[in-house]
Chain A
């Protein structure tokens, strides 16, 4: 595709987010009140009538498909220029994401000509991205319905605005692929002894810090232990690995003399520090504010404070009931108990990890490239992807191959008889 023809250079424009909106048709059922249906609309600058029109189109599509299947309405709409994805996470609340198809820009007679590539985007990938948007919102805000109960449409709109305004900027649509469909968790491989050490560490911590309700333990951005339900852990894992950890990478990588480093609390006994909560425990005015998260929203609907504490490559998440506000004193206690032990544990794991690596010779380029995903425990492993970062696509294979893998995935999930498929050969990617 990159080949420049005689006609001039071709430029490929990646898929981009055109709009993203959330509406509830029940909120403005009367004519003339359509605007009331709209709970969130990005980009907000769009003119009111256009918002109403676009929402109206989605309603019409959904309604239209109910003619053919009352319980399974439309999931996506393909048009020449874009794809729209529909998701109804809670009854009557619709989320819609509109993604522009990739474009090839050519020049003919000096004028740019745009050619939309209609078959490039994979529905499953972007539907999953949309579902993740909801899961992420729900993790930090609870359900839409709960917001309505708390304070009506006004509160819901505020929460949506506050959350999505920032969250949408972190969507990197051009690098979404099959891994977004799985939204799996990468587990850290570990020998039994070390695993037991971690287990016992967690038990001790939960014992000493008795307000802790759930704990999760990660090393190198990979999960080792979690007390949360799978689905909650899956989205929390996504948040930690694509947002929270990367944001705190810089201080660790920064040299000892860098100014960033200087801000870190000087603590000679251990390397532990809070990734959420107080920056400097020695400052009595520091605020002990932790993000709130919502888990088990289907039944018990728990609201928790999320404390993430890290020492070297080991991170541990403590979740405590939101009704008990963590004080500075609690934070200091946590730091003094967890910090030293976690530091030791982290170096144990590191040592063990290096031994294992030497034995298995894992440094070599793997002979087969694969993506593995286990639906039962959400375990995911890929030798195609290099380290995940939030912004860049790091698949080490041709993007077309990733798309073919995506095609195969959607065939499997659709098919009654699709058990296995092998041997796909690309027709020369250009």
Chain B
């Protein structure tokens, strides 16, 4: 099955990673390989303990597949044709090379490295193939790691299958855009313990991650609104939003020193405050997350955003694997595993800076006539499969419909991570993707497999089917087909298209002259609604400023020791009102010319309007399979 890709990889990268050192693995691991339950694989020896870590125990999240003879990845493409039968395949999400550890128990060792095609960044197909076990042959990590690339090449059997796969891939042309291939190199297994960045690494920082390298001593770097750093307990950089991790390694070392100093005194560092900025620390062993923010957000809100970053990392690795890695090797360089995922994290941070969903901890629905939404939901509901847990239809970052298994609930954080994943890559438009993903709030120890595809090329309508079984690509893909068929049969496609043309409503519809914008969140459903942001908040900074004001009101209303129910804020450019009850939260922005009495009147009107429109703005009756 070795694809060309695969071959390439195999030679290239010798550096250590968790992955078993054999070349075989080079592909990214894709999935949580359920099938790989220990011992099941032929050829596989015991993988080193560290590999095992990745698995989660949760059976729910990933079914253990029957033992597969070989765990190679299967990739899926829109044309079902090509896929290799065995194995699951993870697709890389655009741009990142995820490594998904397999959740299943034990020894799964699939570490995948991506194929590395230097320079191919944009084009390379990014599927992740799982290697079969055999590939993994490595007896022990050490040994595996020690193997020279040549040795790896010497395992033709595997490769051929890989080739097949990769060929299929290329035919399918599923391409994840923007992956930096170099990253993959990083990921590849190499000798452990060698942490020095290879030349490629350096390149990757500049090229792959797509970030300009910034001089971290320059004012421009210092003045970024919000820095985010992730580091391991050994003080090793894992992620930095701006500037290369290398250049910042000493700064991160200091951060870790501060954290450990206070921990040694049985205390815990929370934040540092200075004029104009704060530094917030969040400790989630084995990681430390730090933000340096010049925004007006409270410490609690910044910490909340850092938790999102933490969950984002878990969604790629699972908590179980993350912990296992660091138990095995404290100073492991996690960037190897996360290489390529920077884009997803960057995108998440950008999204949080202008999308109120994260602040609200809720999801926004696409405004849609109830009858259309019902038709869509029941079509989704009918297109079910045994392994399906959630079927989600979304457009932009708005939810169109969500159907779930009985008694299974999707936490808004998990849904946000899925939205972010989809919005961070345009590659999903190209076909069907099948990718492992951990939903940390649902189960942080295992992977689900997500089938991601757009319904039609031109339409911004993305279908996300979350399955527990990595072998179920075809079944799930068939669900998609059935769903589309039903949609067609019910004749709602046109109405849906129509609704997509105006994904936001105007605040003018409410009919209150001084009203500029609002956010209404229904606490019980975890959904919120909000009109389009219109003039005078046209420019990006203005939009962010408005969100900043909402953040400010939110933080005052939710201050842990001094919560407030009502806040009326009069500023030079707008007036705002916040009202928090047990059932809902409402944040309203008015023109600066109105009065407080007027604002309160307007709230009553607004509430009536929302009630009247609620079946269009919200999903009132969530469906289950």
Instruction: Let me know if A82 is at the binding interface, CB within 8 A.
Output: yes
Chain B residues within 8 Å of A427, by CB: 563-565, 580
CA–CA, A79 to B570, complex, Å? 33
CB-defined interface of B255-278 with A at 8 Å, one 1/0 digit per residue? 101100110000111111111110
Q: Let me know if B567 and A421 touch, CB within 8 A.
A: yes
Chain A residues within 8 Å of B195, by CB: none
Known contacts A414-B296, A421-B570, A77 near B269 by CB under 8 Å: yes
Q: Let me know if B556 and A407 touch, CB within 8 A.
A: yes
From A57-65, A137-145, A269-277, the one touching the partner chain is: A57-65
Q: Let me know if A404 and B571 touch, CB within 8 A.
A: no
Chain A residues within 8 Å of B560, by CB: 119
Chain B residues within 8 Å of A252, by CB: none
Chain B residues within 8 Å of A53, by CB: 261
CA–CA, A425 to B270, complex, Å? 28
Q: For the complex formed, measure the closest distance between the CB of A42 and the CB atoms of chain B, giving whole angstroms.
A: 18
Chain A residues within 8 Å of B559, by CB: 119, 407
Chain A residues within 8 Å of B564, by CB: 404, 424-427
Q: Let me know if B271 and A78 touch, CB within 8 A.
A: yes
Chain A residues within 8 Å of B562, by CB: 119, 400, 403-404, 407, 426
Majority secondary structure of chain A interface residues (helix, strand, loop or mixed)? mixed
Known contacts A60-B254, A407-B556, A422-B568, A65 near B267 by CB under 8 Å: no
Q: Let me know if A422 and B596 touch, CB within 8 A.
A: yes
Q: For the complex formed, measure the closest distance between the CB of B267 and the CB atoms of chain A, giving whole angstroms.
A: 5
Q: For the complex formed, measure the closest distance between the CB of A45 and the CB atoms of chain B, giving whole angstroms.
A: 17
Chain B residues within 8 Å of A75, by CB: 273-275
Instruction: Let me know if A72 is at the binding interface, CB within 8 A.
Output: yes
CA–CA, A50 to B103, complex, Å? 46
Chain B residues within 8 Å of A368, by CB: none
- Which A residues between 34 and 84 are near B, CB-CB below 8 angstroms? 53, 57, 60-61, 63-65, 67-70, 72-82
CB-defined interface of B554-592 with A at 8 Å, one 1/0 digit per residue? 001001111111111111110000001000000000000
Chain B residues within 8 Å of A82, by CB: 267
Instruction: Let me know if A180 is at the binding interface, CB within 8 A.
Output: no
- Which B residues between 405 and 448 are near A, CB-CB below 8 angstroms? none
- Which residue of chain A has the shortest Cβ distance to B568 in the bound complex? A423
Majority secondary structure of chain B interface residues (helix, strand, loop or mixed)? mixed
How many contacts A-B (CB < 8 Å)? 124
CA–CA, A63 to B250, complex, Å? 13
Known contacts A68-B222, A420-B571, A60 near B257 by CB under 8 Å: yes
Instruction: Let me know if A231 is at the binding interface, CB within 8 A.
Output: no
Q: Let me know if A123 and B273 touch, CB within 8 A.
A: yes
CB-defined interface of A84-126 with B at 8 Å, one 1/0 digit per residue? 0000000000000000000000000000000001111001000
Kindly name the residue among A60, A78, A82, A425 whose own CB sees the greatest number of chain B CB atoms within 10 A: A78
Q: Let me know if B563 and A119 touch, CB within 8 A.
A: no
Chain B residues within 8 Å of A74, by CB: 272-274
CA–CA, A365 to B193, complex, Å? 74
Q: Looking at chain A, what size class is its interface with the partner chain?
A: 35 or more
Q: Let me know if B277 and A69 touch, CB within 8 A.
A: yes
Chain A residues within 8 Å of B107, by CB: none
Q: For the complex formed, measure the closest distance between the CB of B265 and the CB atoms of chain A, giving whole angstroms.
A: 8
Q: Let me know if B274 and A69 touch, CB within 8 A.
A: yes
Chain A residues within 8 Å of B276, by CB: 69, 72
CA–CA, A364 to B312, complex, Å? 60
Q: Let me know if A424 and B573 touch, CB within 8 A.
A: no
Chain B residues within 8 Å of A76, by CB: 272-273
- Which A residues between 369 and 413 are near B, CB-CB below 8 angstroms? 400, 403-404, 407, 411
Instruction: Let me know if B279 is at the binding interface, CB within 8 A.
Output: yes
Known contacts A72-B276, A79-B268, A415-B296, A67 near B251 by CB under 8 Å: yes
Chain A residues within 8 Å of B573, by CB: 417
Chain B residues within 8 Å of A260, by CB: none
Instruction: Let me know if B354 is at the binding interface, CB within 8 A.
Output: no
Q: For the complex formed, measure the closest distance between the CB of A117 and the CB atoms of chain B, giving whole angstroms.
A: 6
Q: Let me know if A421 and B568 touch, CB within 8 A.
A: yes
Q: For the complex formed, measure the closest distance between the CB of A104 and the CB atoms of chain B, giving whole angstroms.
A: 11
Q: Let me know if B570 and A422 touch, CB within 8 A.
A: yes
Q: Let me know if B566 and A424 touch, CB within 8 A.
A: yes
Instruction: Let me know if B292 is at the binding interface, CB within 8 A.
Output: yes
Instruction: Let me know if A31 is at the binding interface, CB within 8 A.
Output: no
Chain B residues within 8 Å of A414, by CB: 296
CA–CA, A60 to B257, complex, Å? 9
CA–CA, A45 to B549, complex, Å? 48
Q: Let me know if B270 and A65 touch, CB within 8 A.
A: no
Instruction: Let me know if B505 is at the binding interface, CB within 8 A.
Output: no
CA–CA, A418 to B569, complex, Å? 8
Known contacts A79-B267, A117-B561, A424 near B571 by CB under 8 Å: no
Instruction: Let me know if B299 is at the binding interface, CB within 8 A.
Output: yes
CA–CA, A72 to B549, complex, Å? 24
Q: Let me know if A423 and B273 touch, CB within 8 A.
A: no
Instruction: Let me know if A207 is at the binding interface, CB within 8 A.
Output: no
Instruction: Let me know if B203 is at the binding interface, CB within 8 A.
Output: no
Instruction: Let me know if A263 is at the binding interface, CB within 8 A.
Output: no
Q: For the complex formed, measure the closest distance between the CB of A284 and the CB atoms of chain B, giving whole angstroms.
A: 57
Q: Let me know if A417 and B292 touch, CB within 8 A.
A: no
Chain B residues within 8 Å of A63, by CB: 254
Kindly name the residue among A414, A417, A418 whose own CB sees the greatest number of chain B CB atoms within 10 A: A417
Q: Which of B274, B279, B561 contacts A120 (CB 8 A)?
A: B561
CA–CA, A41 to B565, complex, Å? 44
Instruction: Let me know if B504 is at the binding interface, CB within 8 A.
Output: no
CA–CA, A63 to B254, complex, Å? 10
Chain B residues within 8 Å of A123, by CB: 273
CA–CA, A74 to B258, complex, Å? 14
Q: For the complex formed, measure the closest distance between the CB of B541 and the CB atoms of chain A, giving whole angstroms.
A: 13
Instruction: Let me know if A257 is at the binding interface, CB within 8 A.
Output: no
Instruction: Let me know if A419 is at the binding interface, CB within 8 A.
Output: yes
Closest 3 A-B residue pairs measured CB to CB? Answer: A119-B561, A423-B568, A80-B268
List 21 A-B pairs, Cβ < 8 Å. A60-B261, A65-B274, A68-B277, A72-B274, A74-B274, A77-B272, A78-B269, A82-B267, A118-B270, A119-B559, A120-B561, A400-B562, A403-B561, A403-B562, A404-B564, A411-B556, A417-B573, A419-B570, A420-B569, A423-B568, A425-B566
Known: A68-B227, A70-B222, A79-B268; 19 extra A-B contacts, CB below 8 A, are A61-B272, A69-B222, A69-B274, A72-B275, A72-B276, A72-B277, A74-B273, A77-B273, A79-B262, A79-B267, A119-B559, A119-B560, A411-B552, A411-B556, A419-B570, A421-B570, A422-B596, A425-B565, A427-B565
Residues of A within 8 A of B (CB): 53, 57, 60-61, 63-65, 67-70, 72-82, 117-120, 123, 400, 403-404, 407, 411, 414-415, 417-427
